[in-house]
Structure 1
Amino acid sequence: MGIEVKAARELAENVSAPFERAHAMPKSVYTDADFLALEQSRIFATEWICAGRAETLPNPGDYMTLTIAGEPVIVLRDATGIRAMSNVCRHRMSTLLEGRGHTKLIVCPYHAWTYNLDGTLRGAPAMQLNGSFCKEDNALPQVRCEIWQGWILVTLNPAAPSPEVTLKGVRELIPALDMATYTETYRETFRWATNWKVLAENFMESYHLPMCHKGTIGGASRLEEMVCPEGTEAFNYHSILKDDRVPLALAHPSNTTLQGEDRIKTWLLAIYPSLLITLTPGYFWYLSLTPDDPGHVNVLFGMGMSADWLADPEVPAHLAKVKALLDEVNAEDKGCTEKVYQGLLSSMAKPGPLSHLERPNYEFAQYLSRKTR
């Protein structure tokens, strides 16, 4: 408990300084296992976590699985829509489904207890002689699930405010780009050897683009054009302008709705705690993070395109170009963020002052401190 309180106290002291005098977060916030346990119980077990995109579950029986703060969860589409529920059998507590796929029923791999897609128990072999057994008492517990702008958001917290309320400001911020009209075309998962917050912070600032991404997108934006305004208690954001070296990030030539800078503007949205979205007029990509241990993060990575670009007859080539580009960008980010975590373990490491381009990082630290005090 002492280490946990110490790390939380150090973070509270860190964010007490005004932004103009702010420093990077203390090392203990990234490296202490007890602080991660605090994050799991007070952040990941109480906030909305992204499971992916709704369009990737188009048919009843399509499902995906995830683990939130140690809790196995199924997200699936049934006849009524997308729902979430416990991924643990009500008999001897085996997990039920793995990964992603399609199923007509949920069948336990241990004793074949079988559940309908809504989580109600359909059948339980050899239970008829148990006089106290009642199928109606053994449905899978339901988990809150909402679709927001095409994103499947799940929470273990029955009292969490709806994303439609807390994230209303995102829609107001970017009225010209409707994320619900974009379509995911690719996804994968990976595990990197860094702390989840290092990767989140890496996304939140574009200060690193010229150096970390010098082989790909680093030259497409200029530091002096980057805008980092104040965010909200639910998200932070910044924007950058892209030139035609990344043409698929620009509005499609057929698009007559977007005007001026909106045709070349890239938005970077950090939805707390761990949904990170890059949104351009042409494509989007995102990361959804769940911590594994202090030095490892599980990442859901997905990408897709706007309706304008998907309607282009050359869409296969466009998708291949975006995928190839993002693969390189991810490789660069992996190298940079894993180096940061290696440095955090050094006895001589010390948090340095933040740039004006790192305001989102400061606001993220404030959020973490509010949740862990």
Structure 2
Amino acid sequence: MKDAARELKDNVAVPFEQARAMPPSVYTSEEFLEQELSHIFSQDWFCVGRASALCNPGDYVTLELAKQPIIVLRDAEGQLKAMSNVCLHRMSTLLEGRGNTRSIVCPYHAWTYNLDGSLRGAPAMTLNVGFCKDSYQLPQVRCEEWLGWVFVTLNAEAPSAASQLSKVEDLIGDYGMETYTETFFETHVWDTNWKVLAENFMESYHLPVCHANTVGALSKLEEMVCPPGEAAFNFHTILKDDTLKIALAHPDNTRLKGERRRMTYLLAIYPSLLITLTPGYFWYLSLHPHGVGQVQISFGGGMSPEFVDDPDAQMHFAHLKSLLDDVNAEDKGCTEKVYRGLCSKAAKPGHLSHLERPNYDFAQYINSRIQNTH
């Protein structure tokens, strides 16, 4: 079996002008995936979604992060909290999906926890002389809100998300991303490796071809700007014309000036939060591996406050959501084809275009995390 970590180390050792795509083993190796779970998803901040989706006491969402079941919720005092989603009795998982609850009730024996994770009650435990209700507390998980996003990490030593992403704020602070309202959220599983989908988002080189029937004709390669990335993220920008009005700054938006009123940022926050941010709307993907050949996708989006308050908001957004669904279908087809090709014995990485600079930076990030363990 090929050593994917060694192949990746050799792959990223050249300057960008000579760079190639990552080797197939990086996408198809089960051993490499285990290293990613241990040294990326167990260590870095992972995006759960938007804080506005957890606005009321008892609102919750569940996830598995590096095989660890987690609950993220708004507690009775209005604070965001994250904790283990495993009962402290016989270790059943507790909540599923998303929703609202007054308390956390185990579906196995009805042990019941408060929204802060403390044990409220446990039926038929009075005859066990060693049982003390007050000694039970669901283990807490680090949780932070940043510009409207909710992040969790299993790493007690990780620097704060805000400190790692301060340069993102420098780039897009005038967009007011924290004020955008999420209006849809979905989950999907696609038959491709998580990095294939992440890289697909990171470059717009594929837009004229993969998205020929949707946004391809609106995508001018010569107007795409792909600067070198930063330690915690990369980005590129596209200028939009007035074909899709909701992609531009609303007339009531006085924050953005000049060219920025039609500038779209495509932000890739490591490891796997992918944000398309326009002056009028945003959409995002948050990715987690589901085996080497599948990816779990959280897909959401919404509008800037000016468009939320616009009388034609729903008409604009209905058109946008229909477009995003069509774009997603195209991306699904393209990325699943890439994964099938990566599994071929004939697969060999080619040189990168100058429009794939973010992919090179992403490979450097992956390599840095994996090599730190070797």
The TM-score with structure 2 as length reference comes to 0.98
- What residue is the counterpart of 1:100 in the other structure? 98
List aligned pairs for 1:30-179, cutoff 5 A: 30-80=27-77, 81-179=79-177
- How far does residue 129 in structure 1 lie from its aligned partner after superposition? 1.3
Which secondary structure state, in structure 2, belongs to the residue aligned with residue 285 of structure 1? Answer: strand
Native 8 Å contact 1:220 1:246 kept in 2: no
- What residue is the counterpart of 2:347 in the other structure? 349
CA distance in 2, matches of 1:292, 1:326: 23
CA distance in 1, matches of 2:110, 2:174: 50
CA distance in 1, matches of 2:58, 2:284: 25
- How far does residue 79 in structure 1 lie from its aligned partner after superposition? 2.3
List aligned pairs for 1:1-373, cutoff 5 A: 6-80=3-77, 81-373=79-371
Higher mean alpha-carbon deviation, 167-176 vs 253-262, is at: 253-262
RMSD: 0.9
- How far does residue 218 in structure 1 lie from its aligned partner after superposition? 1.1
Native 8 Å contact 1:217 1:246 kept in 2: no
The TM-score with structure 1 as length reference comes to 0.98
Which secondary structure state, in structure 2, belongs to the residue aligned with residue 293 of structure 1? Answer: coil
Which secondary structure state, in structure 2, belongs to the residue aligned with residue 39 of structure 1? Answer: helix
- How far does residue 248 in structure 1 lie from its aligned partner after superposition? 1.1
Q: How many residues align?
A: 370
- How far does residue 175 in structure 1 lie from its aligned partner after superposition? 2.5
Structure 1: 4+ residue segments shifted above 6 A: none
Q: Supply the AA of the counterpart residue of 1:339.
A: K
Native 8 Å contact 1:200 1:276 kept in 2: yes
Q: Supply the AA of the counterpart residue of 1:22.
A: A
Unaligned 5+ runs, structure 1 = none
Native 8 Å contact 1:7 1:28 kept in 2: yes
CA distance in 1, matches of 2:117, 2:145: 19
CA distance in 2, matches of 1:70, 1:310: 37
- How far does residue 256 in structure 1 lie from its aligned partner after superposition? 2.9
- How far does residue 126 in structure 1 lie from its aligned partner after superposition? 1.1
- How far does residue 151 in structure 1 lie from its aligned partner after superposition? 0.3
CA distance in 1, matches of 2:63, 2:320: 26
Which secondary structure state, in structure 2, belongs to the residue aligned with residue 194 of structure 1? Answer: coil
CA distance in 2, matches of 1:243, 1:220: 8
Higher mean alpha-carbon deviation, 356-365 vs 314-323, is at: 314-323
Which secondary structure state, in structure 1, belongs to the residue aligned with residue 183 of structure 2? Answer: strand
